[in-house]
Chains A and B, each alone.
Chain A
Amino acid sequence: MEINKELIQKIARNARLNLTEEEIKEFLPQLKEILEAFSTLDKLNTAKTKPSFQPIEIKNIYQDDISEPSLPQDIALSNTKHKKNGFFQGPKAL
């Protein structure tokens, strides 16, 4: 697995992170070292093993379709500077 600058930039783009040249320079050897260590999982044979997405398996948890009060509009908007007429305001979307 080739960990290089291009791959890191691709991943960073996907994750909406603008990495500076310094950051990439710093991260590259660190990430290489880490991924090399992670890759040792290859050594284990897990062909017949089921994944454990949760440590304790619980199933069939759901709630009844009964409504509860929503947040008042001003509270819903209380943590943003960018709002207008009850709407959240964001940058250009198209």
Chain B
Amino acid sequence: MDFSKDQKHFKMLAKDFIKKVKDKEISVIKNTEKILKEAKNINKEYSYFNFISEEYALKQAQEIEKSIKQNKAQGSLLGLPISVKDCICTQSIPSSSGSKILENYIPPFNATVIQKCLQEGAIIIGKTSQDEFGFGGFSTNSAFEIPKNPFDKTRATGGSSGGSAGFTQATSLPHISIAESTGGSIVNPSSFCGVYGLCPTYGLISRYGLIDYANSLDKIGPMAKNIEDIELMLNTIKGQDPKDSTSLNQELKKSKIKKIAIIKESLDVDKQIKDLILERLDSLKIKYNLISLPITQRYGIQTYYLIAMSEASTNLAKLSGLTHGSQLHLKGTFNEYFSEVRSKFLGKEAKRRIILGTFARMSGFRNAYYLKAMKVRTLIINEYKKAFKKYDLLVSPTMPILPPKFSEIEKLTPLQNYMMDILTVGPNLAGLPHSNIPAGFINKLPVGILFIADHLCENNLIEIGKKLK
């Protein structure tokens, strides 16, 4: 499928679709059948879904249509199909987080964001593919089929929310995806697939029910074909949750965009990318300055990975084949059993990160690695906070490269993989809201522009997204 020709198929806004549903102009059942058929077709070639929840979705659609007929239907997402990254728990729908160790795991509860979506009448059509537990920037670390770039099947979707971004681009029908970011996993694939993605302020959206990668870094956020859909989903799923102690009880600030700055170090990328970014910025006709964030630039990757791996290595300790997840025959001692299960069902990157994360917090190394990274994080946060005293938005390319071929990715060392996050780890470490806005194409491949705002200033991101159409 070649989507680059027909960018005009970004047709209907979700809110317009929902209105038509409420006005009985669109049949929810028919629309759901349509998108399920499309999803299955696309999935054969592109592998955006680990699981298409056909039965579940049709049942939901029937219930909604019934209540519409009875004039009882309510909900800000009524009838809207949504896809959900596989690391977000959906009750009675398999949630594997892209890992064999959770293959066919069926959560007995819904994540809070899913609960909210269901209450508003959304229809879950499936769980999207991803790097195992979020470990990766190309979705190539999936234990299942690897998602392919919608513009070029030999190239990656980006990661770790590759399936979400891919399907958001590929579908011709109104749809929003609920994705997740730890070090850049929303904006990275959004950029590589040419869609909008917004990663909110840490704590704005409840993490309850999100299968953890790194608890102090994980955030849930929407992906969509247009900024209005992003805004709709953001406002639906945000809010303090008593089940998530780190969720915020604060209102979003009103938008205010007076001064913008480009991150100087981020311009050290492919010239074509740089030029495209600057061109789009110029089109805004807002003056922009240059700002340097040297600590983030030089130490962001190390800081991010040390913290992420330390926390991840404890989160993954839950997976030992005892109460849930993939299991083997019970034999030997529990240590032997745990080791066998984990070694068999966890992927290579997961093992690498568990080892590094365990090391970083071992006594003797804890101060130099884990605690040190936490301190550098303070320096990085301060660097951003200082920048936001002067500026309302910071800008950079989202990714330093164009979507790479799978054959190119295979040649990268793990460290080279990690370095791909150079432009996105900063805001993720600091819990700052950031968004990918599709900026255009180079060699028929999408390029995205990254905007970063201060905490709770998502409305700046939305406003700039609207301005950049």
Contacts and interface: CB of A to CB of B under 8 A. Distances in A.
Contact of A52 (B203, B301, B372, B377): B377
A22 to B, nearest CB: 11
Given A37-B415, A38-B302, A56-B203, A11 B362 contact: yes
A30 B201 contact: no
A59 to B, nearest CB: 10
A37 to B, nearest CB: 6
A21 interface: no
Contacts of B381: 52, 55
Contact of B334 (A8, A62, A91): A91
B379 A38 contact: no
B374 A56 contact: no
Given A88-B323, A91-B337, A31 B356 contact: yes
A54 B216 contact: yes
B214 to A, nearest CB: 11
Given A41-B303, A91-B332, A81 B376 contact: no
A18 B339 contact: yes
Nearest to A29: B413
Interface string A63-94: 10000000100011011111000001111110
Contacts of A80: 322-324, 327
Nearest to A13: B339
Given A44-B299, A51-B375, A51-B377, A12 B355 contact: yes
Q: Contact size class for A? A: 35 or more
B122 interface: no
B324 A27 contact: no
A94 to B, nearest CB: 9
Given A16-B339, A38-B302, A41-B372, A79 B378 contact: no
A18 B351 CA distance: 10
Contacts of A54: 202, 216, 246, 431
Q: Contact size class for B? A: 35 or more
B201 to A, nearest CB: 7
Contacts of B429: 55
Nearest to B456: A56
B374 A53 contact: yes
Interface in B357-381: 358-360, 362, 365, 368-369, 371-379, 381
Interface of B: 105-106, 108, 201-203, 216-217, 242, 245-246, 248, 295, 298-299, 301-303, 305-306, 313, 317, 320, 322-325, 327, 330-340, 342-343, 346, 348, 351-352, 354-356, 358-360, 362, 365, 368-369, 371-379, 381, 413-415, 418, 429-432, 455
Interface of A: 1, 7-8, 11-12, 14-19, 23, 26-27, 30-31, 33-35, 37-42, 44, 46, 49-56, 58, 61-63, 71, 75-76, 78-82, 88-93
25 contacts: A1-B365, A14-B358, A16-B320, A18-B340, A30-B414, A37-B302, A40-B299, A40-B302, A41-B306, A46-B379, A49-B378, A51-B378, A52-B378, A55-B217, A55-B429, A56-B202, A56-B248, A56-B431, A61-B246, A80-B323, A80-B327, A81-B327, A90-B330, A91-B332, A92-B334
Q: List the 8 shortest-distance A-B pairs measured between CB atoms, nearest first.
A: A55-B431, A51-B374, A79-B324, A46-B375, A91-B337, A61-B245, A18-B343, A49-B375
